[in-house]
Structure 1
Amino acid sequence: MSDAVPEDAEALLALQKLAFHQQGVLYDDFTLPPLTQTLEEMLRDFDKSLFVKAVYRRKIVGSVRAHKEGATCFIARLAVHPDHQNRGIGRSLMQAAEARFPDVERFELFTGYKSVRSINLYKSLGYVIFKEETEAQPVKLICMEKNTA
């Protein structure tokens, strides 16, 4: 696991779209933000977020991003290449992202309500559901947090 740099943006975006394609199928919605994000938008995200990448044989096979607001670190868009899933990469990326923010009081993230594998991964890392956002259309969001205190 290492920090990604803006020069990785094109590969990160391709990976994100490939990984989130499964979510598009699951929700029958290919307009989800991770699937429609542009390269320019991702490059702007580097201004506010830290990106962590997982590399295998010189190819980026996983990524996650995080940013701090006050005492909370927001984690987003955990993505693992479909050919590399179920090997602990997502867990390692999450742990690496959390380790880069040792001074926060809590971590927060969200995922879709049908994303059972993601929800179970986050629960195994100590996250708990604290809110369900039913207003989000068309996908209901499950908001999870992990307190560090």
Structure 2
Amino acid sequence: MDPAVVLRRAVDGDAGELLTVQRAAFVSEAQRYGDPSMPPLREDLDAVLAAIGEQVVLVALRGTRLVGAVRGRVEGSTAHVGRLAVAPDQQRQGLGSALLGALEEALPQGITELRLFTGGDSAATIARYERAGYVRAGESVDDHGTTLVHLVKEVGDPARTIG
């Protein structure tokens, strides 16, 4: 990844740019599945602000431009990874992988498992998660008939200390 990219916790002032990047990043997924009402495209500014306040939300900055983001929602010893988004013109440069790794490091002590899902027709996305250590844990179908692939990653000792 480019050393000029900075990864950090999101702040409220990032919400507008984060929402813009998220929408831009998920347009191709919406087209792939013929579903313009995917949750990442319907989310509003208030929901993004709530996520920043309640979850571990990281952003990637190239200079002053926000170019990527990811979220981790903690439930007990599990973190649910979501909304991994990289601006379309910044994709395939390692930002998504860097954000996933940084999220793992930023999660609170005691997290032993990461869970996420993605569309079943998103082969490149599934492969990216598998390269990052996630394994398939099953499938489900959403309310629009889209097959979702669920992936899990074990992250080790529950007593580890994350800085």
Range into which the TM-score falls when normalised by the shorter chain:
over 0.9
Distance 1:38 1:135 in 2: 21
SS of 1:52's partner is strand
Name 1:24's counterpart in structure 2: 30
TM-score (norm 2): 0.87
**1:42-81 map, 5 Å:** 42-81=48-87
Aligned-residue CA RMSD (Å):
1.1
Q: Deviations over 1:80-136 (max 9, x none)?
A: 011011000000000000111253111001111111111111000100010100254
Alignment counterpart, residue 97 of structure 1, candidates 97, 103, 118 = 103
Aligned match for 1:132, one of 135, 139, 146: 139
Residue identity opposite 1:147 in structure 2: E
Measure the CA separation in 2 of the matches of 1:44 and 1:106: 23
Structure 2, unaligned runs of 5 or more: 1-6, 157-163
Deviations 1:24-43 (A, max 9, x none): 11111100000111111111
What is the aligned-residue identity percentage? 33
- The answer to whether the 8 Å contact 2:10/2:52 transfers is no
Aligned partners of 1:139 and 1:34: how far apart in 2?
Answer: 15
4+ residue runs over 2 A deviation: 134-138
Point out the more displaced range, 63-72 or 39-48. Answer: 39-48
- Unaligned 5+ segments in structure 1 are none
Partner Cα separation in structure 2 for residue 145 and residue 108 of structure 1: 5
Query: Once the 2 structures are TM-superposed, how far is the Cα of residue 46 of structure 1 from its aligned partner?
Result: 2.1
Give the match's secondary structure for 1:77.
Answer: strand
Bigger mean CA deviation after superposition, 131-140 or 68-77:
131-140
CA distance in 2, matches of 1:64, 1:136: 24
Residue of structure 1 equivalent to 2:115: 108
Amino acid at match of 1:88: G
Residue 47 (structure 1) shift: 2.8
Structure 1 residues 2-57: Cα deviation after superposition (integer angstroms, max 9, x where no partner)? 11111110000000000000101111110000011111111122232111111112
**TM-score w.r.t. length of structure 1:** 0.95
CA distance in 1, matches of 2:131, 2:36: 28
